[in-house]
Amino acid sequence: MAGPRRRQGLEELRSLLRSEAQGLPDAALVFELLPYTPKRELLRAMALARRMRQVDEPTAAALMLALASMVGEKRRQELFSFLQLDDQVVRAAMLLALSMAGTPPRGMLREAGWAVALRKLGRVVEQALGMTWKRGPGAQAQLRTLLAGLPARQRSQLEVLLDMWAPWSGPRAAPGRRGAVRKKLLALSPRERGQLARELLDLLGEKVGEGRTSSKPPDPHGETGDGAETKTGQGRTGHTRSTKPPRERHVNVGFAPEQAPAQPQRASEPLACGGESFFWVEIGKRLEGSIQTGEATLPPELPADAVLQVALFTFPGELQVRGEDVGELQLRPGGSHVTRPAARPEGVNSPSRLFFRLLAPKAPGTYRLRCNLYYEKNLLQSYLVTAEVMSRPAQRREALSARRDYTLSGQLDPALLRAYPANRLSFMLNGDEGTHSLHAFGGEGGQDFKSTATLNPQRLGEHVKLVRNALAKASYGVEGPWSPNSGPGYRYETFPGVKALTEDLRLLAIRGYRLYSDMVTPLVGGKKHRMALEALLKTPGRLQLALKESVEYIFPAALVYDYHFDTNAPAHSLCPVFTEALRQPGVPLERTPCFQGKCPSRGQETVICPSGFWGFRHPLGIPLSVGDGEAPPSISYQGGVNVLGCLSTDPAFTERDKHLKALERLKPMRAVQWLRSREETLRALKGDGPHIVYFYCHGGVTSSGLPYLSVGDQRTEAGITRDNLTNAFHDAGWEPPSQPLVFLNGCHTTALTPEGMMNLAGGFVVEGNAAGVIGTEITLFEPLAGPFAEECLRRFLSGAAIGEAVHGARLALLAKGNPLGLAYVPFAVPGLRLVPEG
């Protein structure tokens, strides 16, 4: 009867599917439509929710919320593990999900009456989700009252959440949107609603580049006995019902002749000059024909159905890839399964082996290729593949070989591994043979970005010096190393004014842009790739730069400035939207358009905006390779966080006591131990238990050129050098699950460069098994070091990942007119975070 009206409603809803700026569905639509999703598609929606986290907040939050109300308890917990707690929308979503479900994660708040009260409160939070966005001290107060009656441990956990929740801010949308959407939906037939829900998932999948497996997932409501689906090997594909975990996850790589690709080529058989062949990767039992030397297994706790991206990177003039150089393998109980082939050799029917087509150089010689394995855009492992190429191939020992020379992790907790958030972009920088080669891999929306390039270390060194000097000039007025007797001293003790800030940002932007223009274009492999990179990095997303210890210079990623402008214009002004934000200290910069990828000054010839710096726009992390050690994605604690503080007793540190008091007040803190001598420090480092090791100290370089940290009394006590760390940790390091983050907050250090820092950082990571280290680009001063550490650690203790904690602290200082947060360098995976246990 109401046929035309129904059709019209359907069309209106379809148009809402792409109503957002990024072509994403309206949050209200997601929320209302998802319950009509066929049950067997729910797991797909779960996978999408996980990937959505970096695409668009309201849509992602709505997806998570709707899912939380539909799936079983275990799935809901899994869903919560995807959340980033430093994200206001998601925090709100979490609280709403708590209330809607009535069964909060880990069974908290089960007491009678709480569910009802929370449900009521949930409506307040619900409004936050895109309809009306309220500033709600009222809601806060209500929640706190509710929490007062809870057992202490549950209360403290939720209070931490609440502390992070405030203050409200965010987008406003037309009220009543959801009601209107619901009305239209109800006018449709159940079949039409189901169809729309499927279209919704397709659209989201298209936006986030979901895995290309077409399969029938098991019923997500089914709760397996032990609750750990990823452990039991019951993959989402449903191809197998085996409950046994895969026995082996050996990464087999090798070559195969062009004529007989099914047959692996023996390691003793070189390639022919100018000849074609195949390179292959297969995960499972150790295979004959595999050419690695040394260790080559995947972390056993990687989810049983993890999809790994395999990307080959070539060196100029060496082995080349013909055709596709990225493929995908999904882990299955029996081994790997190709979900995205690269090459399809004729006559080979091997669903478990991923092939790439290679071309050998015409001249004889020994040539290389790099094979990287990624999980959720995190670089897991990297293999350097070497092949001898001969005009008349004759057998020789190890003519073909592969060696793993980067590994992110040795052993990982499965729950923590799931918590590895997807990176937007992952770089790897090598110090091979006098050049820096950089491999970038990333992408979203199904578009892979992949590139490889070689950097001239000397030119990189020149740029590094220039950008660091610009930072030094902003900090203490001199372009060069700091010394106590030179220059005007620290310039940002109080805000020096918009004019001075503009001058400092201008010099930083000019040099940061020249670094970008001169190094990044060749680095990503040309202009076309650079444009792809610009599109990829327009909005905030995590960047990971994996460093091998041998690199000569640390690529100063935070100082890259990528908004195109005229560096030689006689004058530049500061972005008006940013200066306006400076005048409103209550609004976090993260929430302003500039830092959400919508800076109106981008591309203007003479206007600069701090959001053009990677360090102000993106959470970054630079993990060091850890050999066979562990770089955990999280640090778990019980009851509270333990901090070991290693202090300089220099009376010139006038702000130390105030700073230490502020740190002691951080939540959830359990114990702080302050150490005031070298001996005490070295002894305490060997003990276990710290989650954070904090150095508030001096540092420098010895007369023989060794970087050192100075704790205690620098007049009477020696420094701590890298070999002292080897000694301290010679028989053991920190043990999982409490491998600490080491924060090197060196003040008034002289001549200690980031490379020197990395030398010490490497000591903590390689010898001590630290989860990560925070260092600095230039000499810092107490008025910056104290507030930065307090802000960064406050966020980190509250559950923010280290990339976001550093980024947030940078922006918090910037909001007060201080750009020097850019001086901090996090040597850790950007997703590293503290996680409460139990």
Strands 833-836 and 824-827: unpaired
Using CB under 5 A as the binding rule, whether residue 609 contacts Zn ion is answered as: yes
Q: Judged by CB under 5 A, which stretch of 239-247, 309-317, 324-332, 602-610 contacts Zn ion?
A: 602-610
For residues 80 and 595, which CB has a smaller minimum distance to Zn ion in the complex?
595
What is the smallest separation between the CB atom of 593 and Zn ion, expressed in angstroms?
7
- 443-472: contacts with Zn ion (CB under 5 A): none
Instruction: Give the span between the Cα atoms of 558 and 554, in whole angstroms.
Output: 11
| Residue keyed to tokens 């995190």 | 378
Q: Judged by CB under 5 A, which stretch of 598-606, 618-626, 695-703, 799-807 contacts Zn ion?
A: 598-606
What is the smallest separation between the CB atom of 597 and Zn ion, expressed in angstroms?
10
What is the smallest separation between the CB atom of 604 and Zn ion, expressed in angstroms?
9
For residues 414 and 597, which CB has a smaller minimum distance to Zn ion in the complex?
597
What is the smallest separation between the CB atom of 607 and Zn ion, expressed in angstroms?
8
Q: Are 111 and 103 in contact (CB under 8 A)?
A: no
CA 73 to each of CA 32, 80, 233, 234: distance values in angstroms, whole numbers, following the listed order: 21, 11, 20, 18
For residues 593 and 736, which CB has a smaller minimum distance to Zn ion in the complex?
593
User: Closest Cα to residue 23, out of 238, 204, 255, 175?
Assistant: 204
For residues 616 and 708, which CB has a smaller minimum distance to Zn ion in the complex?
616
Q: How far apart are the first and last CA of the chain?
A: 57
For residues 251 and 594, which CB has a smaller minimum distance to Zn ion in the complex?
594
Tokens standing for residue 753 = 């460069």
What is the smallest separation between the CB atom of 612 and Zn ion, expressed in angstroms?
8
What is the smallest separation between the CB atom of 801 and Zn ion, expressed in angstroms?
25
What is the smallest separation between the CB atom of 513 and Zn ion, expressed in angstroms?
15
Q: Judged by CB under 5 A, which stretch of 55-63, 200-208, 320-328, 596-604 contacts Zn ion?
A: 596-604
Q: Judged by CB under 5 A, which stretch of 79-87, 249-257, 384-392, 609-617 contacts Zn ion?
A: 609-617
- 567-586: contacts with Zn ion (CB under 5 A): 575, 577-578
- Measured in whole angstroms, the distance separating CA 133 from the mean position of its chain's CA atoms is 28
3-state DSSP assignment of residue 622? coil
Angle, helices 114-128/137-147, rounded to nearest 10 degrees = 160
- 194-213: contacts with Zn ion (CB under 5 A): none
Among 124, 412, 599, 646, binds Zn ion (CB under 5 A): 599
Q: Judged by CB under 5 A, which stretch of 230-238, 590-598, 630-638, 727-735 contacts Zn ion?
A: 590-598
For residues 565 and 781, which CB has a smaller minimum distance to Zn ion in the complex?
565
Query: Binding-site residue total for Zn ion (CB under 5 A)?
Result: 7
User: Closest Cα to residue 220, out of 96, 81, 73?
Assistant: 73
What is the smallest separation between the CB atom of 722 and Zn ion, expressed in angstroms?
41
Q: Are 124 and 146 in contact (CB under 8 A)?
A: no
Instruction: Give the span between the Cα atoms of 168 and 137, in whole angstroms.
Output: 8
- 256-295: contacts with Zn ion (CB under 5 A): none
Instruction: Give the span between the Cα atoms of 501 and 773, in whole angstroms.
Output: 29
For residues 601 and 749, which CB has a smaller minimum distance to Zn ion in the complex?
601
What is the smallest separation between the CB atom of 598 and Zn ion, expressed in angstroms?
8
At 505, phi and psi to the nearest 5?
A: -65, -30
Instruction: Give the span between the Cα atoms of 371 and 164, in whole angstroms.
Output: 41
Neighbours of 459 (CB within 10 A): 14
What is the smallest separation between the CB atom of 583 and Zn ion, expressed in angstroms?
14
Using CB under 5 A as the binding rule, whether residue 64 contacts Zn ion is answered as: no
3-state DSSP assignment of residue 602? coil
| Residue keyed to tokens 């900090």 | 475
Tokens standing for residue 358 = 């290679």
At 779, phi and psi to the nearest 5?
A: -65, 135
For residues 578 and 729, which CB has a smaller minimum distance to Zn ion in the complex?
578
Q: Judged by CB under 5 A, which stretch of 57-65, 230-238, 275-283, 604-612 contacts Zn ion?
A: 604-612
Among 601, 642, 710, 753, binds Zn ion (CB under 5 A): 601
What is the smallest separation between the CB atom of 567 and Zn ion, expressed in angstroms?
17
Instruction: Give the span between the Cα atoms of 115 and 256, in whole angstroms.
Output: 62
| DSSP conformational letter for 318 | S
Q: Which residues of 375-405 are buried (b: 16+ CB within 10 A; e: fewer)?
A: bbbbbbbbbbbbbbbbeebeeeeebbbbebb
Q: Judged by CB under 5 A, which stretch of 118-126, 469-477, 501-509, 603-611 contacts Zn ion?
A: 603-611
Q: Which residues of 269-283 are buried (b: 16+ CB within 10 A; e: fewer)?
A: bbbbbebebbbbbbb
Computed over its alpha carbons, how large is the radius of gyration of the chain? Answer: 27
Q: Are 560 and 613 in contact (CB under 8 A)?
A: yes
For residues 12 and 580, which CB has a smaller minimum distance to Zn ion in the complex?
580
Q: Judged by CB under 5 A, which stretch of 70-78, 338-346, 383-391, 594-602 contacts Zn ion?
A: 594-602
Q: Judged by CB under 5 A, which stretch of 414-422, 606-614, 701-709, 773-781 contacts Zn ion?
A: 606-614
What is the smallest separation between the CB atom of 564 and Zn ion, expressed in angstroms?
14
What is the smallest separation between the CB atom of 586 and Zn ion, expressed in angstroms?
19
Using CB under 5 A as the binding rule, whether residue 594 contacts Zn ion is answered as: yes
* Residue 661 parent element (H or E): helix 656-664
- 14-43: contacts with Zn ion (CB under 5 A): none
What is the smallest separation between the CB atom of 491 and Zn ion, expressed in angstroms?
23
For residues 284 and 512, which CB has a smaller minimum distance to Zn ion in the complex?
512
Using CB under 5 A as the binding rule, whether residue 532 contacts Zn ion is answered as: no
For residues 281 and 575, which CB has a smaller minimum distance to Zn ion in the complex?
575
For residues 508 and 594, which CB has a smaller minimum distance to Zn ion in the complex?
594
What is the smallest separation between the CB atom of 609 and Zn ion, expressed in angstroms?
3
User: Closest Cα to residue 689, out of 645, 735, 730?
Assistant: 735
Q: Judged by CB under 5 A, which stretch of 64-72, 483-491, 605-613, 626-634 contacts Zn ion?
A: 605-613
As beta bridge partners, residue 154 has none
Neighbours of 156 (CB within 10 A): 16
For residues 66 and 594, which CB has a smaller minimum distance to Zn ion in the complex?
594
Instruction: Give the span between the Cα atoms of 103 and 76, in whole angstroms.
Output: 10
As beta bridge partners, residue 401 has 386
What is the smallest separation between the CB atom of 681 and Zn ion, expressed in angstroms?
43
For residues 608 and 685, which CB has a smaller minimum distance to Zn ion in the complex?
608
Neighbours of 456 (CB within 10 A): 14
Provide the sign of the torsion angle of the four alpha carbons 712, 717, 723, 724, taken in this order: negative
For residues 575 and 792, which CB has a smaller minimum distance to Zn ion in the complex?
575
In degrees, to the nearest 5, what angle opens at C-alpha 230 toward C-alphas 444 and 334?
95
Using CB under 5 A as the binding rule, whether residue 114 contacts Zn ion is answered as: no
For residues 272 and 577, which CB has a smaller minimum distance to Zn ion in the complex?
577
Contacts with Zn ion, residue ranges (CB under 5 A): 575, 577-578, 594, 599, 601, 609
